């Protein structure tokens, strides 16, 4: 008995040793892929992408708030005020982000690059674990699992989106989530309900964690994939149990991520995406010609600088030629129900990625009216299926006892080679310009050479030792992906220079106060206000911007117009020696910065005013027309759709902003006559107000801002952003955590009794 136990322990130790070595190899391949960034002084991605312009300043703003003991539910620094807690992209409660926010609140941009690299490594480790743990018997060996890991983590979606950290952070969890659900619904792994419940719980926890990273579309993809797999398991198992385990995983996942999900659901109706049409949702579909990118990603150029196709650049699904070859071998040699599922699923997701180019996407998603675009991103699910099929085929081909290559293998590879070459040659004839044709010829030759190596590799079956045969395949996959993807999105120039205008920043921090700034130059990042503690009217494009803000900003007209001045824009940051507008009222006040000049808007109005005339109109359109009339005087009259009309002369008053914090504003007002206190911050339904401790109504003024009616006298006005849904979301997430802990305790006690 002791001998058997010792042998089992030895086998277990050997397995852990091999798996540990595989994880180290994944780390090495990740480091090799990102060598220009990790060791060569380059940056990710080219031009910075969302990482620089959107996520970095937002994360730093969140970290600053947390370090000061305040969760930033509202962001007063961008878009004239914005409900940050309702933007699911904020990643505020994602555990990995939280560690960064708490431990290093003033982190550098390099830390965000590190998170990108780390999550691509996580995608590889997760894919390796998924392949290794897919079977309860005859497990997939480490080298085939490594092939799947490298193919998935360096596939085109990850390379294309190294500048979209939150997208990568969500989808990197897909393999572990899918593995957990597979084990929950597969009886061969266990014969107990408790074990299925445990795996469903693990799946739900992983779903919740990934959702907190903040990319709704990727979360939907994961849920959609799990739903399809559950239906498949119901059909082959003739039982409804998979649906129950999916429900458990979904409830745990949604409950854990409620703190991020529920406010976002409430926000949607207030945003531009609230009226999102199906026609918009199929923007950035994968074109038919884009399918060449599956094997030849550079055929029409690749990356932000090199792409020259006549369609919008989208993800093309490249994960190396060898994995596709292996997937086809899996179809021919290893016809199991699960393999068939992944083949059908891959074809189905490919049709969805084609978006408006087929009827499949319309039939499924037009009735749902989902607020997502870029159907091409479905290609990541295709890549997942192909990577797992590749691991299955490689495992069969690299067993200790291998058969010589079959005739069908040769026919397969030869057919692929001839078909690919003929197809690429035909496409070359459709392109004008010798330079482009030469590029395509080089790419076509590289693809043919790779397939040729695949042909040689198959010929070596039975001639080389199994281990060497597997290492050769892994080397081919890794070399191809690194060679074709390593330099696609790197930048030799620092993308954070738009945050480094130190002298201009110092001037604004000393003089702007609560007044807003307007960036009229590319040398100043649109979201820099978050980083520097300033207040701006704009920010980088956000698809979840408030619709009232979007309408107001698009109708400002010229700098110095009444609606523009109402925003409280005191300073405009402009290019050197290039005035941003009429210098009769835009006066240059600072020119000591080497990159930008600063102008004073002499027509700017204060952010907080008392207004003694108010007109109540029928609807928002009537108010919109009124504030764009030539005679509109924003310091003299406000327009409302609710509240009391007011008509009197301006009276003596005194306003003191006692406190202006992230989620609260406190103002002392002394007025000699009734009037409206107008704060030119964005109106949002979940702000609450008190006047002298008594509840007061906040009205929407001039289509976008906040107004409170005050009687004559001394008043203390307080506005707080404490949306009820936020409290509910916290409660749901906390209760879910309690349920998870109780279940873990129950499982541990059950295990100890055994």
Running along the chain, 754 residues long, what does each successive block of 10 average in pLDDT? 54 75 97 95 91 96 95 95 91 96 96 98 98 90 97 97 96 98 84 85 97 96 97 90 95 96 82 77 93 86 85 92 87 84 96 95 89 94 97 84 53 65 63 68 72 71 76 92 92 93 97 96 94 94 84 92 96 94 90 96 96 96 95 96 94 96 97 97 94 96 97 97 92 95 82 61
Together in a domain, 521 and 384: no
Q: Which residues, in sequence order, are CB contacts of 72 under 8 Å at separation 6+?
A: 61, 62, 65, 66, 84, 85, 92, 662, 663
Which residues form the domain of 564?
A: 497-601
Together in a domain, 556 and 472: no
Distance from C-alpha of 129 to C-alpha of 224, rounded to nearest angstrom: 21
- C-alpha triplet 27, 31, 36: angle, nearest 5°: 170
Residue 88 lies in a domain: yes
311-358 tens-digit pLDDT: 899 999 999 988 988 898 888 778 788 899 999 999 999 999 999 999
Alpha-carbon dihedral of residues 368, 371, 376, 380, nearest 10 degrees?
Answer: -90
Distance from C-alpha of 196 to C-alpha of 183, rounded to nearest angstrom: 7
Q: Which residues, in sequence order, are CB contacts of 545 under 8 Å at separation 6+?
A: 79, 82, 271, 272
Q: For the stretch 381-410, what's the b/e string if a residue is b when 16 or more beta carbons lie within 10 angstroms of its beta carbon?
A: bbbbbbbbbbbbbbbbbbeeebeebeeebe
Together in a domain, 684 and 546: no
Residue 664 lies in a domain: yes
Together in a domain, 141 and 210: yes
Of 485, 519, 538, the domain-final residue? 485
Residue 349 lies in a domain: yes
Together in a domain, 61 and 189: yes
Question: Where in 538-686 does DSSP place strands (E)?
Answer: 569-575, 586-590, 596-601, 608-611, 613-616, 638-640, 646-647, 653-660, 664-671, 675-682
Q: Is 613 helix (H, G, I), strand (E, B) or coil?
A: strand
Of 559, 576, 601, the domain-final residue? 601
Together in a domain, 520 and 481: no
Over its C-alpha atoms, the chain yields an Rg (Å, rounded) of: 30
Backbone φ and ψ of 276, nearest 5°: -70, 130
Distance from C-alpha of 148 to C-alpha of 319, rounded to nearest angstrom: 10
Residue 444 lies in a domain: no
Together in a domain, 353 and 468: yes
Together in a domain, 218 and 360: yes
**Half-sphere exposure at residue 563, Cβ-oriented, CA atoms within 13 angstroms:** 23
Q: How far is CA 676 from CA 316, 503, 586, 704, in A?
A: 56, 38, 29, 15
Residue 328 lies in a domain: yes
Please report the pLDDT score of residue 7 as a whole number. 55
Residues paired with residue 694 on neighbouring β-strands, in sequence order: 691
Whether 247 and 198 have beta carbons less than 8 Å apart is answered as no
391-407 tens-digit pLDDT: 999 998 887 544 445 55
Q: Which residues, in sequence order, are CB contacts of 584 under 8 Å at separation 6+?
A: none
Residue 309 lies in a domain: no
The tally of domains found in the chain comes to 3
pTM above 0.85, yes or no: yes
Together in a domain, 221 and 326: yes
Residue 739 lies in a domain: no
Q: How far is CA 585 from CA 284, 516, 557, 592, in A?
A: 43, 17, 16, 21
Residue 433 lies in a domain: no
Distance from C-alpha of 358 to C-alpha of 362, rounded to nearest angstrom: 8
Long-range contacts, stretch 721-724, CB < 8 angstroms, 24+ apart: 721/73, 721/74, 721/83, 721/663, 721/664, 721/684, 721/686, 721/687, 721/688, 722/73, 722/663, 722/686, 722/688, 723/73, 723/83, 723/85, 723/86, 723/263, 723/266, 723/686, 724/686
Which burial class, exposed, middle or buried, applies to 359 when counting CB atoms under 10 A from its CB (0-12, 13-18, 19+)?
Answer: exposed
Together in a domain, 537 and 638: no
Distance from C-alpha of 359 to C-alpha of 361, rounded to nearest angstrom: 6
Of 601, 633, 666, the domain-final residue? 601
Please report the pLDDT score of residue 459 as a whole number. 67
Together in a domain, 662 and 531: no
Together in a domain, 590 and 617: no
- C-alpha triplet 694, 697, 698: angle, nearest 5°: 125
694-696 and 687-691 as β-strands: parallel, antiparallel, unpaired?
A: antiparallel
């Amino acid at each position: 008995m002791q001998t058997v136990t010792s042998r089992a322990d030895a086998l277990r130790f050997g397995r852990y040793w091999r798996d540990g070595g595989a994880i180290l190899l994944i780390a090495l391949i990740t480091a090799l892929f990102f060598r220009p960034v990790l060791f060569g002084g380059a940056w990710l991605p080219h031009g910075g992408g969302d990482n620089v312009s959107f996520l970095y300043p937002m994360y730093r703003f969140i970290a600053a708030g947390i370090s000061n003991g305040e969760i930033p539910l509202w962001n007063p620094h961008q878009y004239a005020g914005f409900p940050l807690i309702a933007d699911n992209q904020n990643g505020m409660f994602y555990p990995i982000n939280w560690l960064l926010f708490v431990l290093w609140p003033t982190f550098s941009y390099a830390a965000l690059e590190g998170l990108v690299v780390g999550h691509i490594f996580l995608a590889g480790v997760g894919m390796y674990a998924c392949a290794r743990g897919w079977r309860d018997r005859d497990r997939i060996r480490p080298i085939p699992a490594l092939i799947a890991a490298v193919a998935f983590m360096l596939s085109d979606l990850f390379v294309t989106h190294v500048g979209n950290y939150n997208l990568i952070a969500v989808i990197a969890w897909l393999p572990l989530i899918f593995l957990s659900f597979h084990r929950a619904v597969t009886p061969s792994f266990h014969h107990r309900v408790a074990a299925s419940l445990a795996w469903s719980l693990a799946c739900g926890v992983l779903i919740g964690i990934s959702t907190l990273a903040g990319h709704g579309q990727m979360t939907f993809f994961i849920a959609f994939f799990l739903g399809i797999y559950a239906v498949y398991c119901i059909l082959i198992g003739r039982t409804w149990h998979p649906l129950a385990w999916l429900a458990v995983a979904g409830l745990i996942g949604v409950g854990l991520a409620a703190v991020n999900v529920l406010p976002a659901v409430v926000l949607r109706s207030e945003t531009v995406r609230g009226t999102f049409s199906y026609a918009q949702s199929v923007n950035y579909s994968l074109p038919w010609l884009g399918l060449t990118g599956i094997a030849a990603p550079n055929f029409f150029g690749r990356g932000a600088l090199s792409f020259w196709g006549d369609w919008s650049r989208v993800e093309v699904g490249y994960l190396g030629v060898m994995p596709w070859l292996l997937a086809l071998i899996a179809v021919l040699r290893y016809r199991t129900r699960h393999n068939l599922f992944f083949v059908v699923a891959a074809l189905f997701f490919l049709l969805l990625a084609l978006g408006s180019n087929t009827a499949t996407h319309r039939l499924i998603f037009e009735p749902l009216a989902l607020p997502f675009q870029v159907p091409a991103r479905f290609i990541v699910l295709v890549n997942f299926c192909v990577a797992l099929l590749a691991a299955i085929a490689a495992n069969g081909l690299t067993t200790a006892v291998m058969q010589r290559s079959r005739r069908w293998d040769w026919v397969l590879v030869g057919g692929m080679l001839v078909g690919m070459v003929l197809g690429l040659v035909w496409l070359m004839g459709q392109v004008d310009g010798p330079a482009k044709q030469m590029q395509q010829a080089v790419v076509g030759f590289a693809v043919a050479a790779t397939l040729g190596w695949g042909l040689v590799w198959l010929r070596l079956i039975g001639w080389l030792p199994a281990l060497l045969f597997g290492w050769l395949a892994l080397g081919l996959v890794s070399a191809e992906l690194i060679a074709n993807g390593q330099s696609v999105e790197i930048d030799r120039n620092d993308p954070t220079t738009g945050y480094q205008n130190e002298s201009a920043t110092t001037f604004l921090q000393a003089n702007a106060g609560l007044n807003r700034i307007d960036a009229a130059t590319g040398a100043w990042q649109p979201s820099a206000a978050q980083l520097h503690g300033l207040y701006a009217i704009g920010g980088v494009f956000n698809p979840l911007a408030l619709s009232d803000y979007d309408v107001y900003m698009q109708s400002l007209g010229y700098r110095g117009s009444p609606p523009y001045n109402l925003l409280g824009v005191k300073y405009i940051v402009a290019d050197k020696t290039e005035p941003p507008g009429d210098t009769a009222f835009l006066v240059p006040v600072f020119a000591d910065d080497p990159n930008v000049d600063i102008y004073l808007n002499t027509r700017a109005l204060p952010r907080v005013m008392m207004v003694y005339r108010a007109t109540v109109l029928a609807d928002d359109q009537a108010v919109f027309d009124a504030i764009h009339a030539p005679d509109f005087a924003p310091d003299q009259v406000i327009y409302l759709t609710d509240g009391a009309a007011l008509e009197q002369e301006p009276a003596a008053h005194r306003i003191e902003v006692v406190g202006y914090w992230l989620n609260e504003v406190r103002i002392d007002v002394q007025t000699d006559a009734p009037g409206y206190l107008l704060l030119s911050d964005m109106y949002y339904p979940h702000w609450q107000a008190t006047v002298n401790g008594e509840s007061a109504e906040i009205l929407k003024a001039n289509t976008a801002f906040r107004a409170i009616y005050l009687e004559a006298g001394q008043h203390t006005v307080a506005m707080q952003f404490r949306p009820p849904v936020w409290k509910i979301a916290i409660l749901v997430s906390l209760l879910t955590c309690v349920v998870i802990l109780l279940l873990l305790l129950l499982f541990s006690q059950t295990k100890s009794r055994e």
